[in-house]
Amino acid sequence: MQTMTLPALSIPAKAVETPLGKLIYPGIDQPERMLIVDPAEIQSLVKAARQAAELAYSAYDVQFPVGAALIMRDDPDGLIFSAGNSENSVLNAGICAERAAIAYAIGQGFRQIKMIVVSTANREKDDIALRAPCGLCRQAIREFADDNTVIIVDHESDGILGEILDINRLFPYGYHYTPVTG
């Protein structure tokens, strides 16, 4: 196991006057976060996500295969759930890898993401924006993540296992509320 610390982030809010009222840039305050991760577990998930990307169905448009692999915190067996994206000739009928893997785990009765790895065709690019989950996937991850969920964006480069985030660094203004349970 490896202990690591995500650094604190602090960007102050700022208001700008306009003739019709103020516009506000919201600030961000993310406290320093300590995470305990298992590099071998991350490596297994990276391998599974890359394998899922190789099996992805991306026959249309940009042909951009993506794979995702995750482990659910509430799965006592710690199974790896993985999936690739599946494009469709009707573009919005396809599904992203992250949402497909989450749906697979949810279909097995699990609800809490422990760790998710995303691997794309751009995994050797330095810019994380070219490899990070899309907005829909960030929201889907948010639904089943908590402050302890670890998100790894694959970065295939010598000596780099991946780039590590938590949900608040991946999606700082994500919509979230606690569902009503009866």
171 in Cβ contact with 139 (< 8 Å): yes
| 3 state DSSP class of 4 | strand
Helix runs in the chain, H state only: 39-55, 97-107, 135-144, 167-170
Q: What does the chain come to in residues?
A: 182
Gap between the Cα atoms of 176 and 170, Å rounded: 14
- Quote the Cα angle for 81-149-147, to 5°: 155
Q: Token pair 């391998």 is at which residue?
A: 47
Is 143 in the active site?
no
Residue 173's closest CA among 32, 34, 26, 63?
Answer: 26
- Given the residues 17, 41, 54, 98, select the one marked as catalytic: 98
Q: Which residues carry out catalysis?
A: 98
